[in-house]
Chain A
Amino acid sequence: DAGITQSPRHKVTETGTPVTLRCHQTENHRYMYWYRQDPGHGLRLIHYSYGVKDTDKGEVSDGYSVSRSKTEDFLLTLESATSSQTSVYFCAISEAGYEQYFGPGTRLTVT
């Protein structure tokens, strides 16, 4: 299995509070991605990174920001969490090839 971890694995937070999710890889892959998955749906891309300090928006980036100061870490921040951001968040990594390796997911509940 690819060395990719996510923390925390579960989090409950209140509306309006900031939340940061962390994705950590040990594979030295160039590309990193954040997706969200809502019940009955496929994954949707939030943000992605193609190198240290190089990031861009995906399909559903409103309300989210990201940072990548080291190759191994990709942080997803919800500046002010809303109930619509309750979801399961997956991180993925990829090298120049076409296969993405997904982390175990973080279940976030915003009350």
Chain B
Amino acid sequence: DAKTTQPNSMESNEEEPVHLPCNHSTISGTDYIHWYRQLPSQGPEYVIHGLTSNVNNRMASLAIAEDRKSSTLILHRATLRDAAVYYCIRGDYNFNKFYFGSGTKLNVKP
């Protein structure tokens, strides 16, 4: 089944914006795009989700391409606490099942 594709790792400087890309070229029309992040030895935590339109919340913004084949998670000002593995997830409309990619490890430099 179709999962998402993300770069293995990215690096950012503290207080600068970060753009984390994700490809999901075979996503169906009813699947949501979710972003979660995971700190070491913890379960994933919610960041943001969307269907077609760009979304904003207090943590981040989600920009979804018009054809929905890709999306970008935007952290507006990275902090050291944002260092984590970020997962782009296809959320199956039926029963809200999640299909994880392998994630992007974000390193934030002071």
A: residues with CB less than 8 A from B are 31, 33, 35, 40-45, 48, 50, 56, 58-59, 90, 92, 94, 98-105
Contacts and interface: CB of A to CB of B under 8 A. Distances in A.
Given A40-B102, A104-B43, A98 B97 contact: no
Given A50-B95, A58-B97, A41 B102 contact: yes
B1 A48 contact: no
A43 B87 CA distance: 9
Give 8 nearest A-B pairs by CB, closest first.
Answer: A102-B43, A42-B100, A43-B100, A99-B46, A102-B44, A42-B102, A90-B43, A50-B95
Interface of B: 1, 32, 34, 36, 41-46, 49, 87, 91, 95-103
Contacts of B44: 43, 90, 102
Contact of B42 (A94, A100, A101, A104): A104
Interface of B is mostly: strand
A100 B99 contact: no
A40 B32 CA distance: 24
Contacts of A59: 1, 99
B103 A100 contact: no
Given A98-B32, A98-B34, A44 B100 contact: yes
B102 A43 contact: no
Given A42-B100, A94-B96, A105 B49 contact: no
